[in-house]
Amino acid sequence: MIEFTQETLVRFRDVPKWCHARFGNRIHPSTVHRWRMRGIRGIRLESVLVGGSRFTSEEALARFFDKTTKAADGEQLVCSIVKRNQDEAVRFLASEGI
């Protein structure tokens, strides 16, 4: 899930330029929409609709690339909700000195 206040939003139309600047290869704009709609290996790109424009975030792209890489390598994926709850529990216990 994209956190508006903590993530850097990127318009879908700018994702090909963003990828080119970081990785040196361009992707077709329809590829970004395919990542959102069909995904890769069951993993879909997170996005939000703001005022009629579709956005993702730099962090969501990083999560997408990480998850698709792990899926391609045959690694087991941990559900993000479970992982987030685990992280919150660890922080809470640490703050309580446990």
Angle at 24 between CA 21 and CA 29, to 5 degrees: 75
Domain boundary assignment for the chain: 9-73
Residues 19-67 pLDDT 10s: 999 999 889 999 999 999 999 988 999 999 999 999 999 999 999 999 9
The two tokens of residue 47 are: 């996005």
Q: What is the pTM of this model?
A: 0.75
C-alpha gyration radius of the chain: 16
